């Protein structure tokens, strides 16, 4: 739910007693698609802002943190990430970060709502600058169905860059979806999924760990990073590996990365997986 009062956009984070506001200059786009309500604003201090169903998605100023942390930790942990699937991610920022890795051979983005991508091309062209890379395929459809139809042992990494677990994204947090992920991943394959605020959405985090383990993933870990425009300003992604933990950060490769990053570094990679005691206790696997 959102409220536009004078020149402020406000996202009320339902059920949390919190809200976040950005001062805006004007509204640039407003569309109701078959899937969701998309708005684009020009803000005074955060550049452009994309909002879906009243929830902030992307701002020009801080999206680099989210997109780098959705792509680089998993790609520098997997031993040889060649074939990558992104589910959701229609703003194309995660896709751009994935394509910066020369070892990635194919990157397929399956976004349910083509309008998200078309508006991103218009208002966030910097996020879409690698969309024409020959390794990239933009497919518009339901990621749940796409993965159900995917051949077994065909992917190395699945990145779930979705909206909150309501509406079309609800099934992306479910047991059948994770079983399909596991089937489509090759040995050593990994999935990473945005997993909401470590402070405000603890039930979602715990359920995700339980459901991923229940589906058969061998190792499940959460990483954390700041995201100023999301509820609480603190966000997480959860990484699961098809087999038991066999390798950590590819330190030398991450150190020698052939592209610039603004948030990610090997040090940040290691630090992001260090959880404070209350999260360790919350996410401890039942023995």
Active site residues: 161
Task: Please tell me whether residue 150 binds ligand SAM under the rule CB under 6 A.
Answer: no
Token representation of residue 63: 């999206």
Q: Which of 39, 91, 97, 156 binds ligand SAM (CB under 6 A)?
A: 91
CB of 281 to ligand SAM, least distance (A): 25
Q: With respect to ligand SAM, which residue has the nearer C-beta, 116 or 268?
A: 116
By C-beta, is 27 or 148 nearer to ligand SAM?
148
Of 65, 71, 108, 169, which lies in the binding site for ligand SAM, with binding defined by CB under 6 A? 169
Q: Which residue is nearest to ligand SAM (CB)?
A: 88
Would you say 207 or 253 has its CB closer to ligand SAM? Answer: 207
Per-residue CA distances from 127 to 120, 218, 228 (Å): 7, 33, 18
- CB nearer to ligand SAM: pick between 66 and 178: 66
**Binders of ligand SAM in range 107-126 (CB under 6 A):** 110-113, 116
Sign of the four-CA dihedral 197, 199, 201, 202: positive
Binding site for ligand SAM (CB under 6 A): 35, 57, 66, 87-91, 110-113, 116, 142-144, 161-163, 168-169, 172, 194
């Amino acid at each position: 739910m959102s409220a536009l009062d004078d020149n402020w956009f406000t996202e009320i984070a339902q059920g949390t007693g919190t809200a976040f506001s950005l001062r805006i200059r004007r509204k640039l786009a407003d569309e109701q698609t078959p899937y969701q309500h998309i708005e684009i604003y020009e803000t005074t201090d955060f550049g452009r802002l994309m909002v879906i169903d009243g929830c902030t998605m992307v701002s020009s100023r801080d999206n680099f943190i989210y997109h780098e942390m959705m792509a680089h930790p998993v790609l520098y942990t997997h031993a040889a990430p060649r074939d990558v699937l992104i589910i959701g991610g229609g703003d194309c920022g995660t896709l751009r970060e994935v394509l910066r890795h020369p070892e990635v051979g194919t990157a397929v983005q399956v976004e349910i709502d083509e309008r998200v991508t078309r508006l991103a091309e218009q208002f966030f062209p910097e996020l879409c600058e690698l969309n024409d890379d020959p390794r990239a395929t933009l497919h518009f459809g339901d990621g749940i169905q796409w993965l159900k139809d995917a051949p077994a042992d065909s992917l190395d990494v699945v990145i779930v860059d979705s909206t909150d677990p309501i509406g079309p994204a609800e099934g992306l947090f479910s047991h059948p979806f994770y079983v399909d992920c596991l089937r489509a991943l090759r040995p050593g394959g990994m999935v990473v999924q945005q997993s909401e605020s470590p402070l405000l959405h603890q039930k979602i985090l715990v359920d995700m760990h339980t459901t991923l383990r229940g589906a058969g993933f061998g190792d499940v870990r959460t990483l954390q990073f700041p995201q100023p425009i999301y509820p609480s300003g603190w966000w997480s992604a959860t990484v699961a590996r098809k087999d038991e933990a066999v390798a950590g950060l590819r330190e030398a490769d991450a150190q020698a990365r052939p592209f610039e990053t603004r948030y990610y570094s090997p040090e940040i990679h290691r630090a992001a997986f260090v959880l404070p005691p209350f999260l360790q206790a919350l996410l401890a696997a039942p023995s």
